[in-house]
């Protein structure tokens, strides 16, 4: 298995990283992708990717932080080129649910991340909340650039997912699909092609059932894998084989 999105730089994961890694390996995880959200976050990520061979990282600024941590595409490129274990760009995107950052700041930051992704030819890890229309408008501006897109913790509508098929996007399922009230999302993931599906924890957030309410960690990704296999009516071994292959293909 691969946890395609976790935040190992955040406690309690960071201060217990040796135990977190051990439990991850014990359940069969072969890669952990720890996701950058701020300048400060990246300082820890550079330490983490040296900690163990299974840990990889990204560089980027979360849309909530777009007003405070301003980046250019060249800064992103420079930071990624310094470390071969930094394999993705993000977490970037748009979030208009909260007013953490002005829309203009978010859009400007998002576009800088996209331009860096095009130049480096590596994936974008996308956060999208209450901004489906605006995100599609931006993607359409880059439709001739063969973007590599991973929709992290996807909770969007089925219509939005279908629109993203045109951009060859991948979709990552989080523990949210295990929640009782997530029937619409489960139906959406049932309709998403298996070859475009990944799994994640977004730990330490969004622990899946049966650990909902606890601090999440990468080893809990097995519960999301089990639920997604059930949704798609395939053996868990097939689900793990395919999501692992999809990750390795996207982040080749």
Distance CA 80, CA 59 (A): 7
For the chain, first and last CA: distance in Å? 16
Mean of pLDDT values over 55-78: 96
What is the tally of structural domains in the chain?
A: 1
pLDDT digits (tens, 9 = 90+) for 113-166: 999 999 999 999 999 999 999 999 999 999 999 999 999 999 999 999 999 999
Distance CA 45, CA 60 (A): 11
pLDDT in the model for residue 98: 77
Mean of pLDDT values over 200-222: 97
pLDDT in the model for residue 193: 97
Domain that holds residue 125: 2-250
**Threshold 0.85, pTM exceeds:** yes
CATH number reported for the structural domain that contains residue 27 in this entry? 3.20.20.140
pLDDT in the model for residue 100: 65
pLDDT digits (tens, 9 = 90+) for 72-115: 999 999 999 999 999 999 999 999 987 666 899 999 999 999 99
The three-state secondary structure class of 72 is: coil
Mean of pLDDT values over 4-19: 98
The answer to whether 13 and 209 have CB atoms below 8 angstroms apart is no
How distant is the alpha carbon of residue 58 from its chain centre?
10
């Amino acid at each position: 298995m691969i946890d395609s999105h976790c935040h190992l730089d955040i406690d309690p994961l960071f201060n217990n990283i040796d135990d977190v890694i051990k439990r991850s390996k014990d359940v069969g995880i072969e890669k952990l992708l720890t996701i950058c959200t701020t300048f400060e976050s990246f300082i820890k990520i550079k330490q983490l990717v040296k900690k163990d061979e299974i840990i990889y990282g990204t560089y980027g600024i979360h849309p909530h932080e777009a007003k405070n941590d301003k980046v250019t595409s060249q800064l992103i490129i420079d930071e990624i080129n310094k470390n071969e274990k930094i394999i993705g760009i993000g977490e970037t995107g748009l979030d208009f649910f909260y007013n953490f950052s002005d829309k203009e700041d978010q859009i400007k930051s998002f576009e800088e991340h996209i331009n860096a992704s095009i130049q480096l030819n590596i994936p974008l890890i996308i956060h999208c909340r209450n901004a489906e229309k605006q995100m599609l408008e931006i993607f359409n501006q880059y439709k001739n650039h063969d973007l590599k897109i991973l929709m992290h913790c996807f909770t969007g509508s089925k219509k939005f997912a279908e629109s993203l098929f045109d951009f060859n996007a991948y979709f990552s399922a989080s523990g949210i699909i295990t929640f009782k009230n997530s029937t619409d999302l489960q139906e959406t993931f049932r309709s998403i092609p298996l070859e475009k599906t990944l799994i994640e924890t977004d730990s330490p957030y969004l622990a899946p059932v049966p650990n909902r309410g606890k601090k999440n960690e990468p080893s809990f990704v097995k519960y999301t894998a089990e639920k997604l296999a059930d949704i798609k009516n395939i053996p868990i071994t097939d689900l793990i084989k395919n999501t692992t292959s999809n990750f390795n293909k996207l982040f080749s």
